[in-house]
Structure 1
Amino acid sequence: MSADPPTPDEVWKLITATVMDTRDGWKRAVAERTGLPFSRVRVLRRLHAGPLSVKQLAHAAAMDAPAATVAVNDLEERGLVVRECDPNDRRTKLVSITPAGRAAVERAMTTPDPAPEAVRALTSDDLSTLAAILRKLH
């Protein structure tokens, strides 16, 4: 008798656990390489696509508005973001990434990120299968 096939939610849980449980070393390396807490790099990455209000940024970075304000204040002091009035609503400030902020994101994203040992241990056939499935998802 065979086991029931896994549900999409079960598979997703396995994927996210595999990634989330193996990223701490890379996050530390990013923080060391950029001189920024990883949470600040995450904020900068959200701004890479374009300006956001602090409220939008908080939502995009999965943090509350006060934490987003603290992060923006810190990044602004470091010269990595600027606040400007929204031309469509002068009551709202938009946060934009500066060239120095873009350079910090580039340093972060080019930080080496070797595969965890569990992935390295897969056979060539398993790696090919996994890559094909992930390409479908991407």
Structure 2
Amino acid sequence: MAMQIRKEAAISFPKIKPSKNKGYLSFIHKLPCVVTGRYGVEAAHLSMAAPQFGHYGRGKGRKAPDRWVLPLSRESHYEQHQDGEERFWSRTGINPHILALTIFGLYSDMGDDAQPFATAIINQVLANAGRLRERGQP
């Protein structure tokens, strides 16, 4: 017997125009990579949905707002796209939605003055994963 999904039970995602914030993207580029700790990052938008955090993902005609961006090294960003986001973030042990919201919240409250705080949080994430780099390490 085939199972039917009632239309009332289907999840409806709001269609919103993604907010873009050049100042925030510039701020992200000043931070270390959340996976490697290296500087010289790319702004990596999260595509996978997490409605419990207010992120409805990307789809046809829908892009992720800049709130859902994390600093990733070029290699990590490439890997994120090649492996698929869920597998990539699962392997890192990072909840990207919580981290993205935390960094965005700091920037929203403090602007560019949030850089040392965001860097400290990223370093704590790296330390928790055993990936914190020593000073002067490439």
Q: TM-score, normalised by structure 2?
A: 0.30
Bigger relative contact order (CA 8 A; separation at least 6)? 2
Higher fraction of helix: 1
Higher fraction of strand: 1
Q: TM-score, normalised by structure 1?
A: 0.30
